[in-house]
Structure 1
Amino acid sequence: MHMTAKTRCLLGAASLGVLALVSAVTPSPASAQSAQATAIDLPAMPMAEALQAIAARTGETINYDPDAVQGLTSRPVRGATNARRAAEEAIKGSSLAVLPGAKAGLVIVIDPVILNEIVVIARRDEAETSALVRQSSTSDRNGLGLRNQPRNTQVITAKTIEEQQALNITDILRNAGGVSALVNTPNSGASYTLRGFSAGGLVNGLTTTSQYGVNAGADQPVANIERIEVLKGPDALLAGFGNLGGNVNVVTKKPSAERRLAVGFDTGSFGLVRGVIDANGAITANKKLSARVITSAQTMDHNYGGYTGDKNWLFAPTVRYKDRLTDVVIGASMNEGSSGIGAFTLFDNKTRRIIDRDPSRPIYAPNQGIRINTTRVYFDATRQIVPGIDLVVRGTHDQTLLKLRAANVGYSRAGALIADTQGSRQDGSSSAIDSFLRIKTRIGDGVKASFNFGYNYSDGDGAQQSGLVYNRATNPSLDANTPLVVIPWSAFGDVQIRNGGKQEGVYGQALIEFWKIKVLGGVRKNWFESTSQTFFAGPSPLLVQRKSGVSPSGGVIFDATDNLSIFANYARGEQATFTVAKDGSILPNIITNNKEAGVKLDLFQKRATINASYFDIQQDNIIVRDPADPTNLFPGPGQRGRGVDLNIAGQLSPGWTVLASLTRTKYALLTTNALQTVVANQPRDTYSVYSTYRTKISEGVSGGVSAGLYGRSSSFANLLGQYVVPSSRQIDANAFLSLGGFDINIGVRNIFDRRNYGSTSIFSYVPVGEPRSVRLSISKRLF
C-alpha cells in the first residue's frame, strides 16, 4: 500500500485505540508477574515470535497488530527483568513503541513520531553482545538474514573473541571449520587457506592490499573487529577475486546512539600488557549523528618462541549518520605493530622426522620479526531512493608497509643445515569501491522479488625491496645451550620488483521468494589487468597483461518447516592467470566449480542454529611444472576437495552457549607426477568446540566458566607426502566474574601443555603451538 505520512500516522493512532480497547476488556492472568525475578534473554528473531516469547516467560499480556510487526526482526534481549524492559529492548531501532494497556498489560503500536522522523540504532550490533548472529553484514547484497541465505556462512562474533581473549586473527580462526591458518612465518605475514585454497582476506566486504602482494593486508588488532565472517564457496565470488574455496571477511565496529565508555586491561604470560578504550554515543540532540573511537595498545617482553615480543597500537575513529532513509558510516583505522616470528622447528632431512627441540629458544637469533603499518579509510552508505529501492555504495583505501627481519632456515643442495639472513620490505596500496542498486517488489499476491545490479572496481600495487647484505650461516646449532647470535640487519636497497593489478566487474543478482522457497541466481563479468616491472639491472619494460572471465552462481533454499530449511548452491569461479609457458603462450585461467547442499536447523525456540552441508570443489587448469623439463609450465587437471561442514552456534539453555564446528575434507589431485603426489598443508579434519555457562551468583554478582577444544588431523608437509605433521589439539579454560561494574576473565590456554605442531607446506618450517599460558582481562563500563 502506498500511504502518505499523514495516513500512516492516522493508522498508527487507530491501531493504538483499537489495541488499547482490546487490552481493557482482556483480563490478564492472575499469575502475571510484571517484575519477574528471572532475567529474560532472547536472541534476535521475527518480531511477532519475540513478543510472544516475552509474554510466555513473564505471564504479561502483550497485544500487537500483526501487520505492524510483519517483516520486522527483533533486537536481542539481554538480562531484562520485566516484560516492558524486554519488549523495549526487542523493538529498539524499529518503528514501534511500547505503551501500557488501558487496564493491564502492554500494547505494541506503530509510533507516529518515528514514522515521520528517524530510525536510530540505539544499541551495539548483535555480534558484540551474542555468540549467535542472524543478520547479514557485508556478505549479502539482498538484505537476507544469515538463516535465510542458501549458503553456509560461519560467523565469529566480538563477544566470542572477547571471551576467548584472542589477540590476533589467526587466533580467532581456530573457531572456523575448514580454515588452515599460518602464523607469521619467516617469509611473510599471516595467511590462511579455506577448504584447501588460498584466501586473500576482505575488510568490510572489500579487497585490501593482501590481494596485491602484501600478505598482511587483512590483519589488524582485534579491538576494532565486530565479527569475522567465514565465507565458504559462492560467498567468495562477491568480491570478484579468485579465493576459490572461500574467503574471510573482517567486519569492523560501527557507532550507535548508545552512550557508552568502556575500558579494558589485559596481562599475562610473556610480559603481556594490553589496554583498550571504546567510546561511543550520539553527538547531536536528535541522535541522527553518532561517533565511536576505539584505541588499543599492546606490548610483550617476548613471544613463546623467545623472539621479539608483540607490540602494536590502534586508533580507529568512526562517525555515522542515520535517519529513516539514510545510513552512512565513515571511518579510519591506523595501526602499527611488530611481532616476532612464531616458534618453529623443522624436519630432519635424513630421518624425515620432526626435530624435537626446545621451542622457547630462538633459532639463530631472538631479534627476528615482522613489522606491519596499515592506514585505512573507508565508507559505507545506504540510501533509500523510494520505498523498495536502495542505493548502496562502499569504498576503502589501504596503505600497508611490511618489513621482515628473519632468517630462512633450511637445507642446502648438499643437505647441510643453513640459515640465510637478508630481510625484505613490501610497500603496498589498494583502493576498492562497490556500488549496487537493490530493488524489492512483489509480483502478484504470493511472490516477492529482489534484484540488485552493481559495479565493482579495485586496484593495487606492491613494491618489494631486499636488504643490501646477504649472509649465510652453515650448520647453525639448534642446541638450547648454544649462545644466541645478534644479527646486524642491513638497510634495504632500492625497489627490485613492482607488481600491480586492476579488476573491474559488473554483476546482477535476482532473489525470488514464493511459498516456502527462495531462489537466488546471479552472474558476474570480470576484467583483469596485471602489471609488473623489475629493476635488477635497471628498469625493465612495463609488462601489462589483460584477461576477462565470467562467474555465474545460483542457489535455492526450501523452508521444510518453521525450524528446518534445505539449501543448495552452485558457483563457477575464474581466476586470471598471467603465467607464461616455455613457448611464450599465456596459460589459461584457473576454473573452479563449487557445489554445496545442506540443511539449516533452528533449535530451542530459535536460540541456536545448526548448519550442515556437503561440498564439492574442483579446480582445473592448475599450473603444473613439467617433471622432464622444470623450466616448462603447462595447465593440467587440478585439485578436488569433497567433504562435510557442520557448524552450531547459540544458546542451548538459559546461560549456556555453544559455538562448534567440524569440517572433514577429502583432498585429491586429479593427476599426479614426479613432482607432486599429494595436497600439502591441508588436514583432513579441523574441529573446535567452545562452550560457556554463566549464572547469577548473588544480588549484583554473576559468574561462569568456559572451555574450548581446538584441533586438526595430520597433514603433509611437502608435495610428495614424504613429511607428515602429526595431529594437534588444544584445550583452553576460562572463568568469569562480574561484580561492581567490573568484568573479570581469567584464562588458561593449552591447559595440558601439549606440544602441538601447525600445518605447513614446507618441511623446513613447522610452526610450534603455544605452551600453557595464563591471561587476565579486566573491563569496566564507565557509563
Structure 2
Amino acid sequence: MKQRFGKFLPLWAIALAGLGATQSVLATEKPATTDELAELLEILEPEDRQPAASVTEWLAQIEATQIQVTGIQINPTEQGLSIVLETTADDLAIPAATTEGNRLTAIIPNAVLALPGGPEYQQDNPVEGISQVSVIPLSGDQVQVEIVGIEGPPTVTIQSEISGLVFAVDAVSPVASEEEELELTVTAERGPEGYAVPEVSPTTRTDTPILDTPTSIQVVPKQVLEDQQVTRIDEALRNVSGVTFGDTFGGVSIDFNVRGFDAPTLRDGFREFGGFTGANPALGNVERVEVLKGPASILYGELQPGGIINIVTEQPLDQPAYEIGLELGNRGFVQPQIDLTGPLTPKKDLLYRLNVSYSRDSDFIDSDVDIERFLVAPVLSWRISDRTNLTLKAEYATDSQPFDIGLPAIGNGVADVPFSSIIVEPENFVNSTLFRVGYSFEHQFNDRWEIRNAFEYSRRDLLNTAVLPLAFDEATGLVMRFPGSADIDATNFSLQTSVVGAFATGPIDHKLLVGVDLNRTDEQNLSRFDFASPSFLDIFNPVFGLAPIDSGSLPISFNEKVQTNRLGLFLQDQIKVLDNLILVAGVRYDTVDQNITNGPTASDPVGSEADQNDDAVTPRFGIVYQPLEFLSLFASYSQSFTPNTETTSSGELLPPERGEGFEVGVKAALLNERLFATLSYFDISRRNVATPDPLDPFSSVATGAQNSRGVELDVTGEILPGWNVIASYAYTDAEVSADNTIPEGNRLVNIPEHSGSVWSTYEIQSGDLQGLGFGLGFNFLGEREGDLANSFELDSYFLANAAMFYRRDNWRLALNFKNIFDVDYIVGSNNSRTFGSEVGEPFTVIGSVTVNF
C-alpha cells in the first residue's frame, strides 16, 4: 500500500492544491455558486464513475484515468516524419505546443510512460532537418514530447487518432517560388555525438551494435576529445580500461599495451606496418578512438593477442558546416585549426571535408627543439547512386620534436634527477613526414548484401640525428653516448575487400562477413653510429655542447631492407538463433612472406639475406545472450599470430608467436541507450616468445610464454540531461609463464595491477547560465615494472584534471587544467635500465575558442 500511495502522491498534491485554492477563493472572494461547485465535483468525481467503496478501489479509479503511453513509432514521410504515441485512451485532448529556439515542446497532462524499452525515449537525427526527438516523463504525471530542428523549430500538426496521439512533423524547408528568388544558406548543427556510441562499424567491419558483439569494445567519442581538449593520442586512451602507454623511443615510434600486450594503432581500419611509425598520430581530423580488446587476428591478421586501437577520422557531411578553432596554452602552446565540410553540388551527391591544423609547443624537457606538427586532410565523397558510394581521401602530416630518450634507472627506481633532464644533447631532433592516400568503395546489391572495397597507400620518412646512450654507470652517474643518425623509410600498400550479407536458413538469421586483405610493406633502415668516439655525460651535473653531428661522415652500422607480403582470407558468420541468442563463428587464414636483406656495414662488408614464410589459421567463437533487451551476457574464444623477427643459431627466423584468449562478461545499455557499461573477465596467453638460446646467447629460441588475466569495467554515457561520464577500472595480472633467462612469475613491463579513470562533465541546460559547463576527473596508474627482469619499478601516480566551458549559439569557449597538482610521473619504459623511462607532462593549461558557422 505504501508504494501505491507514493505512486499517486502527485494526484494527492493536485487534489489538495485544488481544494486549497477553492477554500482561498471562498475566503477572499464571493462564495462559489452552486454551478461552480457542481463543476468542481464533476472534475473530482465524473458522472460515469461509481463511488469508491474503499481506498484501494478509489486509487484504482485514479490509475484508470491516467493515459499510458505504451509505445512510440517514428516513420519518415514526404514532408518530414510522423511520431505516433500509442496510448491506452481512445480520445485524447490535443496538447498545446510551445517553441523556444530550435525546440518545439508539447506536454501531455495526466499521462505516464510505460515503454518496454525503458523509462524514456530518444532518437537522434531521425530525418534530415530534425536533430532529435525525445519523450520523457515529468513530475505531476505529465509526459513531455520535444522535437529539435536544425534550421529552426519544426512545424507540427497534432491529431488524436485511434492509434494514439499523432505528431505530423514538417521538416522540409520552404521552397522559393519561381517569381521570387530566395537565397538560403543552411548551416548544419556540428554538436558532438555524445559520450555513448552504440555501434562501431569501422572496427568490427560489420554494422553490428556493441550489445550484439561477443567481445569488449570501448569508444572514446568526439565529445570526450573536445571536453578534455586532447592533444595526444595517449591522453584519449587513458579513458579506456586495460590500455597503458609504453614509450615513444625518443619520438621515433609509439607503443601501447592492451591487456598486457603490444597493440597496434590503426587509422580507419588500416595498419601502418614498419618498425617506426611516428610518435603521435595527428588528431586534427579524428572523430573518435575505438579499442577492440582480445585476440583480433580474424579481422586484422598478424597481431599480439591484447587487442587493437583504431582511430576513426571525420567524414563529409551533406550540409554545410564550417569550424574554426584556436587553442593556447602554457609553455608557448598554440594550435589553430579549421574544419570545413558540405556538399559541392545542389543534389548533394558530391560532398567534401577539409581539416587543416598546425601546432607548436616548447617541450617541458631541457631541449632547444620545439615540437611542431602540421596536418592537412582532404576527403571527397561521391554518392554515385542510392546504393553506391565512393570516398577519396588523402592526408599529409609532418612532425618535428626533440629526441628525448628518457631517464635511466638507479637501484630499484628511476634516477632521482629533475624530470626535465635529458641524457642526449639539447639540439637533438627527430623529424617525420607522412603521406597517405586511398579510397573506399561501397555498393549495396540490395537491402541485404553489400560489398566494401578500400585501398590505402602510405609512406613515412623519418630522420633522427642524436647521440645515443648505450651504457650507464649507476655508481658514477655517467652515461656513455655515441653520435649517430637514423634514416628510415616505410611504404605500405593495403587493399581490403569484404562482402557483408544477411540471409536466413529457416527461422535462423545470418549475417555473413567474407573478405580478403592484401598488404605489401617495404622498409629501409640506414643507421650510422661512431662507436669509436664516445662522450660522457654526468646526469647529476650535465654539461652539454657537443659539436653538431655530421651524419654523412659516420660509418654505417645498420643497413637493412625488409619486404613483406601479406595475404589474409577470412569468413565469419553471426547467427541469430533466437531473438535474444546470437552465435558468432569465424576463421582466418594468413600467409606472410618476408625477405630481409642486410646490406654492407662497417662490421659486415658483405651483408646477408634471409627469407621466411609463415602461415596460420586463427579461429574465433562467441556467444551473446540477451535476457533483457538492454542487457547482454557474452563469452568468446579467439586466437592470434605474429611473425617472429629473432633468429636461431643457424640464422633462420623463429616460428611465429601464437596467442589465444577467452573472455566472459556482461554489457548493458541503460537509460534508453544513453549510458553503456561493460564488465568482463579475460585470460590471454602468448607462446613462442623469443628467449635467449641456452647454448648460444647471441641467438634465440621460441620457448618463451606470457600470460595476462584480469577484470575490466567501463562506463560511458549520459546519466542525466547535461551530465556525462566516462569511467574505467582494470585489474590486470600479467606475468612471464616460461623463459630461459627471465624468472617465471615476473610481471610484464608497464602493466600495473590496478588502474582506473573517471571524467565527468555537467552542462547547465536552461536559464541565464545555459551552456555553462564544468568537468572534473582523475587518472590512476599503479606501480609497474620497468623491465622484464623486474630490476626496477615505476611509481604509481594520480593525476587530477578539470575543465570549464561555455557554449552559446555557435561559439564555444573552454579552459582545461591537466595534472593540477603538478605530479612528477613516468608514463612508461622501453624495457631498459640505461634509458627509456619516459617522463609525463607536468601541470598544463589549455584555453580554446571555437566558432561554427
- TM class by shorter chain equals 0.7 to 0.9
1:516-547 CA deviation, whole Å, 9 max, x = no partner?
11111110011111111111256645433212
1:268-312 CA deviation, whole Å, 9 max, x = no partner?
111111100001111111112110101001112334454522101
> Which residue is 2:642 aligned to?
575
Which residue among 825, 833, 838 is the counterpart of 1:767?
A: 838
CA distance in 1, matches of 2:667, 2:156: 36
- Contact map agreement 1:305 1:359 (CA 8 A) in 2: no
Would you say 1:692 and 2:756 are equivalent positions?
no
> Which residue is 1:295 aligned to?
356
1:404-460 CA deviation, whole Å, 9 max, x = no partner?
23333353589753223312121111011111111112333x432111211111111
CA distance in 1, matches of 2:496, 2:707: 31
Change (3 A) 1:659 1:347: same
Shift of 1:324: 2.5
Change (3 A) 1:295 1:38: closer
Would you say 1:594 and 2:637 are equivalent positions?
no
Shift of 1:740: 5.6
The one-letter amino acid paired with 2:485 is G
> Which residue is 2:619 aligned to?
552
Which residue among 157, 161, 170 is the counterpart of 2:225?
A: 161
> Which residue is 1:484 aligned to?
544
Shift of 1:74: 5.9
- Contact map agreement 2:404 2:424 (CA 8 A) in 1: no
CA distance in 2, matches of 1:564, 1:354: 46
Shift of 1:479: 3.6
Would you say 1:152 and 2:216 are equivalent positions?
yes
CA distance in 2, matches of 1:456, 1:515: 32
- Contact map agreement 1:80 1:86 (CA 8 A) in 2: yes
User: Which has the higher Rg, Structure 1 or Structure 2?
Assistant: 2
Report percent identity of matched pairs: 20
3-state secondary structure, aligned to 1:254: coil
> Which residue is 2:791 aligned to?
722
Which residue among 497, 503, 509 is the counterpart of 2:572?
A: 509
- Contact map agreement 1:379 1:396 (CA 8 A) in 2: yes
CA distance in 2, matches of 1:261, 1:396: 27
Which residue among 89, 92, 117 is the counterpart of 1:27?
A: 92
CA distance in 1, matches of 2:592, 2:622: 26
Would you say 1:776 and 2:839 are equivalent positions?
no
CA distance in 2, matches of 1:307, 1:384: 55
3-state secondary structure, aligned to 2:628: coil
> Which residue is 2:69 aligned to?
none
The one-letter amino acid paired with 1:719 is L
- Contact map agreement 2:444 2:451 (CA 8 A) in 1: yes
Which residue among 224, 227, 232 is the counterpart of 2:288?
A: 227
Shift of 1:742: 2.1
Which residue among 629, 633, 646 is the counterpart of 2:713?
A: 646
CA distance in 2, matches of 1:697, 1:152: 37
- Contact map agreement 1:343 1:769 (CA 8 A) in 2: no
CA distance in 1, matches of 2:254, 2:766: 41
> Which residue is 1:49 aligned to?
none
TM-score w.r.t. length of structure 1: 0.85
CA distance in 2, matches of 1:343, 1:697: 50
TM-score w.r.t. length of structure 2: 0.78
Shift of 1:100: 3.1
Would you say 1:744 and 2:817 are equivalent positions?
no
The one-letter amino acid paired with 1:461 is D
> Which residue is 1:115 aligned to?
none
How many residue pairs get aligned? The number is: 731
Judge which range, 755-764 or 655-664, deviates more. 755-764
- Contact map agreement 1:600 1:612 (CA 8 A) in 2: yes
- Contact map agreement 1:717 1:725 (CA 8 A) in 2: yes
- Contact map agreement 2:483 2:529 (CA 8 A) in 1: no
Change (3 A) 1:627 1:109: farther
Shift of 1:632: 3.6
Shift of 1:710: 1.1
Shift of 1:145: 1.6
The one-letter amino acid paired with 1:27 is L
- Contact map agreement 1:377 1:396 (CA 8 A) in 2: yes
Shift of 1:499: 1.2
1:50-92 CA deviation, whole Å, 9 max, x = no partner?
xxxx988999999xxx9xxxxx9866987889988736679xx
User: Superposition pairs for residues 403-482 of structure 1, below 5 Å?
Assistant: 403-409=463-469, 411=471, 416-444=478-506, 446-467=507-528, 469=530, 473-479=534-540, 482=542
The one-letter amino acid paired with 2:778 is L
Shift of 1:216: 2.0
Which residue among 133, 143, 153 is the counterpart of 2:197?
A: 133
Shift of 1:195: 1.4
- Contact map agreement 1:468 1:490 (CA 8 A) in 2: no
CA distance in 2, matches of 1:716, 1:473: 30
Shift of 1:747: 1.1
The one-letter amino acid paired with 1:756 is Y
3-state secondary structure, aligned to 1:161: helix
CA distance in 2, matches of 1:277, 1:142: 31
> Which residue is 2:12 aligned to?
none
Would you say 1:372 and 2:437 are equivalent positions?
no
User: Superposition pairs for residues 83-102 of structure 1, below 5 Å?
Assistant: 86=147, 100-101=157-158
3-state secondary structure, aligned to 1:139: helix
Change (3 A) 1:15 1:449: farther
Judge which range, 737-746 or 282-291, deviates more. 737-746
- Contact map agreement 2:94 2:159 (CA 8 A) in 1: no
Judge which range, 558-567 or 186-195, deviates more. 186-195
Which residue among 459, 472, 495 is the counterpart of 1:399?
A: 459
Would you say 1:617 and 2:678 are equivalent positions?
no
CA distance in 2, matches of 1:594, 1:98: 54
3-state secondary structure, aligned to 1:160: helix
> Which residue is 1:499 aligned to?
562
> Which residue is 2:583 aligned to?
519
CA distance in 2, matches of 1:568, 1:506: 24
User: Superposition pairs for residues 238-387 of structure 1, below 5 Å?
Assistant: 238-306=299-367, 308-322=369-383, 323-342=385-404, 344-348=406-410, 351-387=411-447
> Which residue is 2:265 aligned to?
201
Where structure 1 has 5 or more consecutive residues not aligned to the other structure, the ranges are 1-10, 41-53, 67-71, 91-96, 112-120
Shift of 1:607: 1.2
Change (3 A) 1:496 1:583: closer
- Contact map agreement 1:545 1:578 (CA 8 A) in 2: no
